[in-house]
Every structure is written in structure tokens, then in C-alpha cells.
Structure 1
Amino acid sequence: MRIALISDIHGNKFALDKVLEEIDNDHLIERIYCLGDMVGLGLFSNEVLETIFSRNDIYPILGNHDELVMAMAKGEDHTPDHHMVIDHHRYLAERLDSRFLDKLESLPRFIRVNLEGWDLLFLHYHLEKGMENDHISKRPYSPLALDTASTTELFSDCVGDLIAYGHRHYPPSIDCTSGRLLVDPGSLGISTRNFATYAIVDITADSMEAEIREVEYSRKEFAESYPKAGIPGYEFILTSFLGMDDY
């Protein structure tokens, strides 16, 4: 069985369309697990969510940006460590199609499944012990681990033969030094490169093997959408997340 892992779309419909086009041409892929942050940072929340929720082969979970935009839409607390994008999240929340709010609220923070006898855990990122159900404003996600050894240690309390996560954006990574497979497919939608990344995992009763794939897309077209919309704080997003100063 082959599955695909996508993460951190961040409202980038251009990158998502290109990746799904490639995935759909790989007829061995049976399922797509979306590891959160479908919205936030990019402008096309409704278009991305329409695509995600219209397909029966995509299994999505929540990411921190999804939850922060939901919190703004519901008049709930934001979080101080994302103060630089609070106006941006408010802008997106005000324009979020109400059809998607209930759908987002129904999503879990993680999915655990058994495929071919293997225990697989899909989550946006490591959750602090005892905070698994805390509101996003309480900052339940762990600080980013900056290297392979630290990441392996961070997820050592998570049970699973495969642990798939996102949140870190770049670079994507595959690690099996702990005797299990840890896969970060990288950010599909937010990168300083003109490529969207995703991962595939081939699963049999005897083995699991992962591979990172890249798909070229027009990062310039995505970046140009920000000043056209006049979205609050777009300069910070373009320079800090997309590495573009020439917008």
C-alpha cells in the first residue's frame, strides 16, 4: 500500500493543485494524510479547504494555524507567540466560509491507524504531555526541535511504528535511527524555494519505506497575490516565510 503525506499548505492553492495533480497521476497512492496547517499565512483558505473536504481520499488533521484562525472566527483567545500574524489571522477568519468552520472544528489533532499490521501516527507536531486537549492559546505544541537527534528524542514518548508530522516547514526529513520511521514531508505551501514538497510511504507487511518528492510551482504568482489583496502584515510573511523582498 502506498500513502502520501502532505503538510503545511498554508492557503497556497497554487502549490496544492500542483502536488495533487502529481499524486493523482501516481495510481499506487491509495490515501493522502494531511498533517495540518491547511490555512494561515496564505490567502486562499476557502479554495484549499474546498479541495481538501471535497475528496474522500484525504484524511486531514488540525495544525496550529488552523486552530488560530478558528479561534479568531469564534472570538476566542489567540496566542502571544504568533502576535506578528494576529491581524492576518483575523483577516482570514473574517473571510472564512462558514461552511468550513464546523468541518474544521470536527477534525482531530492526530490520527492513529493500523495499515498492513503497522501502527501509524499522524499529527501536526509533538504535543506537550498533559496538554493534548488544551486550547491553542495555551500553546500545547512543543518548541521546535532543530536537529535529527533532538527530534528523535522529542517524539520518544509517542507510540507508533511510523510517526508523520509537519510544522517545521523546511527541510523535509526521513529518519529511522530510533528503530521506527519518522517522516516530515516539509511544507507544501510555504517555502523559500520554488518547490512544494510531500512524501510517500510504501507499506507492506514486512517493510515501510519513505521518499520525499518535490513539485515545481509558481512561488512568484503566490507571492504576488498578497499585495493585490492588501492583506495585513503581508510584508512580514513574504520576507520571513517566502524569502521574497522584491514583491
Structure 2
Amino acid sequence: MRIAAYSDIHGNPIALEAVLTDIEAQGGVDQTIVVGDLAAIGPAPVEVLERLAAVENTIFVRGNTETYLLTNTVPPPSTEDVQRDPSLAELATSVARSFGWTQGAITQAGWLDWMVDLPLEQRLSLPDGTRLLAVHAAPGRDDGPGVEPLTPKETLEDWVKGCDADLVLVGHVHQAGDYPLTQVRIVNVASVGNPMEADLKASWVLIEADQNGYDLTFYRVDYDREAVIDLTHRVRQPAAEYIISFLKGEKVRSA
């Protein structure tokens, strides 16, 4: 059994196509898991949703940006953040306009109704009995603190208590990682579309499983970021400069 897992496409069709091409180049898969944040904060939300839906045997979970779109809310900076730091006002305005722009596009194309049915989590049983859980941020939630290198091990152990899984796949923080805990292994599959790692490549994970166990491999895929920047300008994405800051490496996280 071969499973591809990836997350945080964020409306970036060029990065997504590069990942899908690489999956086929690595021999293809039987199942795909998409771990949330599909369309928002990118130049082509509808195109990305259409492409994802065309991939056979794909299951999805919702991310925090899906929840924002469905509840007419937006990510930080909040009104309170702007009151504390007025320099955030321009960013807050562009992000809010971007979510409105995305919501309008996917509603007109009929995808908002599809998004309503996205579950918080997905579960699979691998051939050896390994219980796999896919969830965007951490077990039980699609937002809030995510799994990253600076997260204390004690915190991770607390997050996975009672999750009834042996392998937990997450995204959310756009930073790949493998975190073996006492009884659970957490793997952050990172981001396809909005890079926050130094090489700025798209990320996906391959799980190869049989009755004897499973192997997990991280893949990094280059793509034409300049083409994404050009597309972002051409479609007049309201948060263009914010999105482009990811593509230019201005949001890289410390390892």
C-alpha cells in the first residue's frame, strides 16, 4: 500500500502540479491524504480545488483556513492586534480582503458547499494494523499551536493523549518534521504552496506500508515560484504582497 500525504496548498496550482508530477515519478500511490488548507491565501483557489478533486482515491481534512472561509472569520492579525500595533493595519486589511475574494470565487464555482462537508480528521488502518490519524493542527483541532521543532516533547505527548492512533499526520506550520513519542509518532508533512523552509520547495510524504510495517519518506519538489508570483499579480489577489513574501523566502522559520 502506497500513500501520499501533503498539506497547505493554499491556492498554489503550480506547486500542486509539481507535487502531483513527482508523486507519479516516484511510482504513483494507491491513496492520497490532503491535510487541510487547500485554497485560501493563494492566487487560484478554484483551480486548486478542481485539480485536487480530480485525483483518484483522495481523502481530505479541513484546515483552519477552511474554517475561516466557512464561518466568515479571518486569521490574525485581529482587531485587538491592530489596536496594540497599528503597523499591522495594512496586513489585516489585505488578509481580510483576500479571504473575501477567495470565498466569493469558491462560492460562485460551487465549492463552498463541498467544503462544508470536510471532516476535522481522517483515519486509516495500515496493513500491519498501524492506526493512522490525519488532522490539520493537532489531534482534535484544526487551528491554534502546531507541531513544530520548538514544541516541547511534553506538550506533544499531552496533545496525543487519547488520540487512538499510532501515526499522526499534521500540517499547519509549513515545516516538515518527524516526532517519535512514547507511543505515537507525529509527522508534519509541511506545505505544498506557501513555503516556510529555507529551500522554498514544495513538500509531500510517501508512506509505503505492508503487513510487516511501513516506511515513510519526505520529498521536496522545486517549482517555478516566479510563475506563481506573476499569477498572483495577474489575478489581483488582494493579499498579493503577503503571499509573495512566502515565495521569496521572507517567512522562513528557524529549524
The TM tier, using the shorter chain, reads 0.7 to 0.9
- 1:174 correspondence with 2:178: yes
- 1:142 correspondence with 2:144: yes
- What aligned pairs does 1:31-70 form with structure 2 within 5 A after superposition? 31-70=31-70
The question of whether the paired residues in 1 share the 8 Å contact of 2:200 and 2:249 is answered with: no
The SS at the match of 2:49 is helix
The question of whether the paired residues in 2 share the 8 Å contact of 1:10 and 1:40 is answered with: yes
TM-aligned CA deviation for residue 242 of structure 1: 2.8
TM-aligned CA deviation for residue 107 of structure 1: 1.3
TM-aligned CA deviation for residue 30 of structure 1: 0.9
The question of whether the paired residues in 1 share the 8 Å contact of 2:194 and 2:243 is answered with: no
Q: Which of 166, 188, 195 lines up with 1:191 in the alignment? A: 195
TM-aligned CA deviation for residue 79 of structure 1: 4.1
Q: Which of 130, 133, 136 lines up with 1:121 in the alignment? A: 133
Structure 2, unaligned runs of 5 or more: 79-91, 251-255
Residue 186 of structure 2 aligns to which amino acid in structure 1? L
Structure 1, unaligned runs of 5 or more: 73-77, 133-139
Aligned length: 228
Aligned-pair Cα RMSD in Å:
2.2
Residue 221 of structure 1 aligns to which amino acid in structure 2? A
TM-aligned CA deviation for residue 127 of structure 1: 5.4
Q: Which of 147, 158, 170 lines up with 1:165 in the alignment? A: 170
CA distance in 2, matches of 1:47, 1:237: 17
Residue matched to 1:232: 238
CA distance in 2, matches of 1:7, 1:185: 7
The question of whether the paired residues in 1 share the 8 Å contact of 2:12 and 2:48 is answered with: yes
Q: Which moved more, 1:8-17 or 1:140-149?
A: 140-149
Residue matched to 1:103: 114
Sequence identity, in percent? 25
CA distance in 2, matches of 1:92, 1:196: 22
After TM superposition, where is structure 1 displaced by more than 4 Å over at least 4 residues in a row? none
Residue 152 of structure 2 aligns to which amino acid in structure 1? A
- What aligned pairs does 1:199-210 form with structure 2 within 5 A after superposition? 199-210=205-216
TM-aligned CA deviation for residue 203 of structure 1: 1.7
Residue matched to 2:9: 9
Q: Which moved more, 1:86-95 or 1:189-198?
A: 189-198
The question of whether the paired residues in 2 share the 8 Å contact of 1:126 and 1:154 is answered with: no
The SS at the match of 1:14 is helix
Q: TM-score, normalised by structure 2?
A: 0.81
Q: Which moved more, 1:80-89 or 1:161-170?
A: 80-89
Residue 123 of structure 2 aligns to which amino acid in structure 1? R
CA distance in 2, matches of 1:101, 1:82: 24
The question of whether the paired residues in 1 share the 8 Å contact of 2:34 and 2:61 is answered with: yes
The question of whether the paired residues in 1 share the 8 Å contact of 2:122 and 2:134 is answered with: yes
